[in-house]
Amino acid sequence: MKITTALVAFGLLLALEGSARAALVWETTEADLHPSLADKTAVAHFKYKNTGDKPIKITSVHPSCGCTTAALAKDLVAPNEGGEIVATFNIGDRTGVQKKTITVVTDEEASQPTVLKLTATIPQLLQVAPTFIYWSANDVLSPKTITAEVGDFPVTKLTVTSTDKSIATEVASGPKEKTFRIIVTPTESGRPINAALKIEPDFPKDAPKSFYVNVRVDSRAKPVPK
């Protein structure tokens, strides 16, 4: 009985020692962001607190891609001290649901890395299809059409420019409301063409958005018969 009591006491002592170790507790490890169309970045705040009695050092903060940065004010967290990691996602020309992660490593013994999850739902201004048009060796250089469908935004005009002057474009109203037809026509034959079309809506004016379509023309494609 005395041996059993000693073992129980020793177990309790180990438990108390374990509970006295450092412990970094996160307020949340997930952020769901809904930036507006004019926003250039989406920012998440991941707050934490050291609930133990020993300092904790954050040894690594690693975002999953170059479009996301993670700022840490200080890497050493004293007992009962809190802080935050500020994650900034650069939206650029991205649309739809974007999922990013930030992996955080500390010097806590036997601890696993913490993975912070950032989800940004970016409004879809335009849906452009197709995003690649091609005239093969067997094709005649007749016009091809791109369709641009507008989301719930007041877009009234599209400006289209090509990186190659031999690719002519014309913008017309589409068959449905809030759609545009972009008619693309190569005006030169006998040489390979690789171009990009830049499509710019007239909204939002304070934060212009650009969409791109790649164009390729085989040098053997035939001109339209006259």
Q: What is the pLDDT along the chain (226 residues), one digit of tens a residue?
A: 444 444 444 344 344 444 456 689 999 999 999 998 888 899 999 999 999 999 999 999 999 999 999 999 999 999 999 999 999 999 987 888 999 999 999 999 888 999 999 999 999 999 999 999 999 999 999 999 999 999 889 999 999 999 999 999 999 998 888 999 999 999 999 999 999 999 999 998 887 888 999 999 999 999 998 8
Range 23-122 has CATH code 2.60.40.10:
yes
Q: Supply the CATH classification number for the domain 126-217.
A: 2.60.40.3450
Burial-class residue 144 by CB neighbours within 10 Å (0-12, 13-18, 19+): middle
In the chain, which segments carry CATH 2.60.40.3450?
Answer: 126-217
Bridging pattern class, strands 144-150 and 132-135: unpaired
In the chain, which segments carry CATH 2.60.40.10?
Answer: 23-122
SS3 6: helix
pTM: 0.69
* 107-110: long-range pairs with CB below 8 Å, 24+: 107/56, 107/57, 107/59, 108/21, 108/22, 108/23, 108/24, 108/56, 109/21
| pLDDT averaged over every residue in the chain | 89
User: 95 with 176: CB under 8 angstroms?
Assistant: no
* Percent with pLDDT over 90 in the chain: 76
End-to-end CA distance of the chain: 108
Neighbours of 15 (CB within 10 A): 10
